[in-house]
Chains A and B, each alone.
Chain A
């Protein structure tokens, strides 16, 4: 899923500084699963903003709504009759949501409530980790099913750097050295030789480096 973190409240309060009436829009997709932008979090943010503004002696009117998804025009359409009534719309979806809203409602101020961080999953309740960098050309089968592009701090493709120690990355003891895991796995499998061949430079054209990307499925396009 796409993982995100809520923005600092100070930043959000600054964004709505000159607003009297805002709509907070949650999303039932990824951000609900990672507990950052679902209906529950919409409720918490609404109350928090109201408390903060009441404390300042300036009421903020806040409405709450959570859409099925914010990355589909049909769901984004659902608020077409109400957005006009607000000074701004705060999206709690990943970075895609506020942009779909901005494009659908060009006259409206759309504010992001979360910092979108990575493609990952929950390794335990309350802890998410990055797994994929969306490079556009998956090659994890070369690396024991583990991705060094996303998970090595230097995106190395030919083995661990000199900073790997006790299975941890040189940048932090909290980060696993993915190359340690890859090497250990290949050794156990008796396929270490696969790691001894030089992996050529990555072709980055399919990644963000090739410019903004688009995916077209002819069989679906009407």
Chain B
């Protein structure tokens, strides 16, 4: 199965979405990422029971922070899919890229600050 997904999505692999930390998401934004999303297992199917649910809450929290400081919360998102859903993975990547394109580049850029 050779599915193509947008090349501007950089994948960081983790053993479980539960390992994702608020700090990771914020760090990505701070480093200038235009968007960041977490792809976790389907709800109810976490190998570690609640890893994906915890990730969802952390994503929610980061959305709140971004909103508070005047950034679009849509730049951060949580998606759920199973490891067998290759096409869905590509679909999500495309969907997220489309969304971010509509929002435009993140205003958090070093060059602007320099």
Contact = CB atoms under 8 A, between A and B. Distances in A.
A54 B109 contact: yes
B42 interface: no
Interface residues of B, number: 19
Interface of A: 8-10, 13, 40, 43-44, 47-48, 50-55, 57-59
Given A43-B23, A54-B108, A55-B107, A48 B113 contact: no
Nearest to A40: B23
Given A51-B71, A51-B108, 12 more contacts: A9-B69, A43-B23, A44-B22, A44-B65, A47-B26, A48-B65, A48-B69, A51-B29, A51-B66, A52-B69, A54-B107, A58-B113
Contacts of A43: 23
A54 B68 contact: no
Contacts of A40: 23
18 contacts: A8-B68, A9-B65, A40-B23, A43-B23, A44-B23, A47-B26, A47-B29, A48-B65, A51-B30, A51-B66, A51-B69, A51-B108, A53-B113, A54-B109, A55-B70, A55-B108, A57-B113, A59-B114
A126 B53 CA distance: 15
Interface in B35-84: 65-66, 68-71
